[in-house]
Every structure is written in structure tokens, then in C-alpha cells.
Structure 1
Amino acid sequence: MNTPHDEASAGAILTIDLGAIVANWRLLQGRAGRAACAAVLKADAYGLGAAQVGPALAAAGCRQFFVAHLDEAIALRPLLPHDASVSVLHGPMPGSEPAFVAHGVRPVLNSRAQLDGWRALAHRLDRELEAVVQVDTGMARLGLAPEELRGLAADPQAWAGVRIGLVMSHLACADEPAHPANAAQRRRFQLARRLLPAAPASLANSSGIFLGEDFHFDLVRPGAALYGIAPVTGAPSPLQPVLRLDARVIQVRHVEAGTAVGYGASWHSERPTRIATVAVGYADGWLRSGSNRGTAWFGDVPLPLVGRVSMDTITLDAGALAEGELQPGMAVTLIGGRAGLDAVAADADSIAYELLTGLGRRYTRRHVGACHGASPVAT
């Protein structure tokens, strides 16, 4: 939980538009056709605040939510309507099964061992327990392997006490629509379903929604697309941006030509200029791989990032601005407006997922655009 800060003293402000997240969910629900649209809120809603994003999406009509860890589910479950479901993608760690029941959340069973543990608990409680079952169709990461499925299909007691609420798998290459792995995984998914008791099915992640109706099945599970990350590589994004990061200037100094800036003297000024030092660094999730790359913006003026990203600061070449135009305490925009999330990540030789989920906890966070006209909340 964040400690409230006075925005006037904040080094940087991260503004999160809940209305834009809801609009993206509605767009994705529209693309999903007859399939229901869930929401993936793992990693604290990709770093943007599951405690705020979850209720906003629930108010818009979302009823199925996914997180990665049990602790995430326990924190989220009380914030959602009683008819919503929360599923834990990693499934139960050995011995944690009773906590799932106690807190009313569903495990995603990924292995025979997880199934056996869940079934044993159902036997001890003498009641049927619901679970999601994941099958591996080509990622070799999580999910029941084909040989496990065949073994389970041959065992008439395999699912005794377990009610399968959903069968799911995960696409590896959905952001590349022409990749042959997409069709191959869909075929494997259909074959896997035949070896399991009848249940609703889910294959499409954010990018998978854009592969078309054949990939939608009964439920789609967007995560990144909710938060404005482009779903298809190289294609225009239909999604709204959802965040803005504005960082404050600590100091502006004049430097002569040939001046070294930052650790390792990795950048030297080619002309007299001004250097603005800004209160964001890799401790705030501003990737060190973006050293000497990328751009901040002061209105419509680009300010190149020069020198290495350090723990608490970055340095910008502010020579394009008039003397005195940029002052300590003023803000430059690092994400938002002309600084799109995907482009900023590319400047750091990364992906938007890594940048988004790594944004640090030192920012003052403002959630705006909440349902029912709620006021912006700074955290």
C-alpha cells in the first residue's frame, strides 16, 4: 500500500486513467463477440493498482479475473462483487490448497500433482471443488502435458470431487498473426478438450482476441491490452493509452562543449547547452538500458536523454529551450502524449510489459476517471 504524498513535493507523478482501462475492456469485449471478456490483474494490474482497476472493471460488468499468486487473489477478492470469480494462474503450492477454499478463489491446475492435491482436499472436505484446468499446447511453461492428459483420460476417478469451471491454454505467438504456432496451438487445444470433461474454454490472451472468432471460444483473457499495450506487432493499436508519467526537474545547469555527463562519462556535449536533471532513475523502474537513448517532452519540445540512467536521476539535453524556460520544479513528460508506452520501451531495447510492470513505488500515483464521478485519488 502506498503512503500518501503531497503532489507539490513529489519527484514524479504517475497518472492512471481508469476510464481508459474500462474503455479498453469494453472494446475488447466487443471484439470477443459472444465470448465473455475477463481481466488479468496479475502484478498489481501490471503495476497500475489492482485495488483500483479491479473494482472499476467490475462496475463496468467484468466478472472473471485472473492473477498469478494466491496473495494477489486474497487481496483482490474482497474488493469485487460476490458473483465475480478470481483465479490464480500459478495454481496451489503444496499445502496451500485450504487457503483457496477459505478465501473463495479458484486455482488453475497446471499439473497432475496440483490436481492430486486439489482432489485430496475435496475428499477431506467431502464436497466438490471448482478449478480451472490449464493444458500446455505449445509453450512448455505451464499446463498439463499431453501425456498427463492421456493418463487422466484413462483414469475414471481422475476428476472425482473436482468440477472443471474452465479449460484454458496460452498462446505463445499471438502478437504475430501469421505465425504458424497460432493455428497449431488451436488444433492442440481442441484435441486436449476431448480428453477432459466438458467445460467452457479459453485460449485467447490480449493478442489472441485479434486473431478472430476461431480463437475466442467461451472466454478471452486480456491483460496487457487493458493497459494500452499494442496487441499486434507493427499494426496500429485501437486501444486508449491509460497512463502518463510526469517527472520533475531538480536542477538545470549550463555546460560547455566537451562536458562529460553522468556515470562513466558516456556522453559529451558537442556544443554549449543546458542539462536538466530529473527525479527518476532505475530505482523507479526507468530502465538503465535506456541510457543515452529516448526522449522526454516539455510541451511539444523533445529533450533527449543523455548520459547513463542512474538510481535516482536521469539527465536531459534541454538546449532546445530558451534560457529560463525550464525551471526546477517544472515537469517533463516521460510517458504519455507524444511519448507512447511501446515507443518508450523500444527506446530502452525492451517491451512495454517490462517497462509497465517495473514502474517503481516511489511515484505519487493518481487514479482518475473512476466510475460514478469519483474524485482523483493520490497514493
Structure 2
Amino acid sequence: MESDPRTPCFFICPYLGGNHLNTLQNYGWNELHQTHWIEHQENFKSSEGKIGRVTLEHKHMYRVVTELGEWLAVCSGSLLHRAIDRRDYPAVGDWVAIEQMPGEERGIIHSILPRTSVFSRKTAGDSMTEQLIAVNVDIVFLVTSMNEDFNPRRLERYLVAAYDSGAIPVIVLTKADLCDTPQDFIDQASNIAFGTDVFAVSSKTGAGIDHVIALLKDGKTAALLGSSGVGKSSLVNAICGDATMDVQTIREDDAKGRHTTTHRELIALPAGGVLIDTPGMREFQLWNDSESIEGSFSDIEALTASCKFNDCSHKSEPGCAIQQALADGSLAEDRFMSYLKLQREIAYLERKTNTQAQIAERKRWKAIAKTQKR
């Protein structure tokens, strides 16, 4: 009888001890997570507690892979009671403490292990809330195609968010087989991503795919980030060597894509490593602090340090290194404008979030006071 291809392949995991059969190493379990688990076990009251990783999230329901297979899970009442903001809830990529419901392939998530990285953005629209894209990620693949949809300014935003997350950014330029001048796109990406690896790949011919796969060795977890139609799903299929993800074509008139991936999902790769595929995002508003700009705009930060005056506004002061670089062409004006725009955006976000945090804290203490009176 053939096994169901969706059934996880089990093996011995030395990190957990004992002779448990499990899949956790396939999903990125390592010694650091083992240390977190040992430190975190004191929060467990049930002897049935297991460790698991969230592979899918859908409307407060989660799919969690454990040493005993995959379970559908919900958060426990105590976890929900402790939660204040979005970061207090599980996200795709989280390692969680989970208890199996008796006699069912379902579980209850009691707590979340400490995260090694958090990749997030501001929720689309006017809401001042954070949306978690992926957590516990080692590498962020910033995916963009080598056609009319290539956008250096959007790529700069992705880089800022990647540096802030704690993960390593890597730029992946797709559709090399359809591009006559791939080196032009590589140069453009390299000029705004100092010290960041840039790979040109073709999911159709397989060119460059080995370089991407090599980065995932030793059980690394990577997230794919990019707009619709840049070829993320095709890249996943090329890395996996099969049709793991559905693929749709781009529109010929503007090279923009249609949504293929509609949710975040964690995928264990046959050759080792883990991928988190994410839906395409045309709007990407930052959710971080201003220090993260330094990594993405290190050239401008270096010029700023060379200005004659420490409080230089980079407008008309004598000895301004920024104005000199703009005049001689060593700094592109649109890149500097993008830098200023992102600084203003982050400053505004910090003011708004600080105000909202104060309001939320007052509401919390009012609720505590009412409870004590009762």
C-alpha cells in the first residue's frame, strides 16, 4: 500500500532525547531551539506537552507539526488572556508548546518559545497595527523579477524590513531566461544592497537555483518576500523539484502578476531546510525603528558622518557631503529622496505607536482596577 505523500517522514531527532520518532529536524529544530525549550518547560503544567512548529495559520486556527505528526490547533485560554498585541499570538514559523486533545488529531497551544527573528510590516490601510509575516527566519529572500516590475525603491523598503527582522537578506532576481540584460538588473540591485548577496535565477531552466538551495543547508529557515507575479511559487517548485505550489502567469501589458499564494505556509524541503512562502504584497509599509535604515542605506549614513557640521540638514550648509555627492553624481537623487521618505515614515510611525501604546496601557490598568474592585 502506497503512503500518502502528505504524511510526514519520521526519523530520530537527537535534540529531544529518548527514542521519539519525529520530523522536527526537517522543520528547522536545532540546539538553540532546544535550549529555549528546556528553559520554557517550566511553563508547562501538563506532562502531555509537546514541542511543535506552526506551519499554517488561518483565522485563529493553526496547523502545527510535532513529533507525532501534524495537528490542527487553537490557543489555550490562558495564552489568549495573556496576549496584548499581535506578537503575543502564534505566527507561521513559531515553535510552540502544544498539548494533544485526548483521542484527537488536534492540539491546544499553551505558549510560544522565544523567537530568533521577527519579520513584520504595518497592516495595510490606516490601522496602526503590526502584521507578522514570518518568525524564526534565518534568511529573507527578497524576490523580484527582471522585467518592468523591477522597482529599486520597493526593494529598499524590503531591505530595511529585512535588516530590522534579525534575518539575513538575500536578493533573488527571477526570470533570467526571459531577460536580455540580466547584468543590468544585478548591477541595480547591488548598488542599493551593499554587502548583500544578489542571485539571478531561472525557475524554468534551473539556472542559479543551486546557489539558493546551498544557502538552506544545515536546516536553515528562509522566507520568500515579493510582489505578486515575481515568481515566488515557481521558485519554490524549482527548489523542491516538483509542483508544490500552483503557478499563474503575469499580465502581458504591465508585467504585473496575479495572486497565487493566498496565505503564509511553511514548507520542509526534500534536500533540507525550510521555506516560508508569503502572499504577494504591493503595499509594504514599514514597522520598525529608524536604526534599521543604517543597514540598507549604509552609503548615505557614511556620507552623513563626513558632513562638516554634526547637525547638518543636508540642504545648503557648507561642507555638506550629501550635497557634494548629489552634485558629482556619486549619490543618485531618487535614492536620497527615498532615504528621506523612509525616515519620515518611520518617525511618524514611532510617534503614533508610542501614543497608542500609552492609551492601551491606561486601558489595561483601568481594567485591572475594575477587576480588583469586584
TM-score bin, normalised by smaller chain: under 0.3
TM-score, with structure 2 as normaliser: 0.25
Higher relative contact order (CA 8 A, sep 6+): 1
TM-score, with structure 1 as normaliser: 0.25
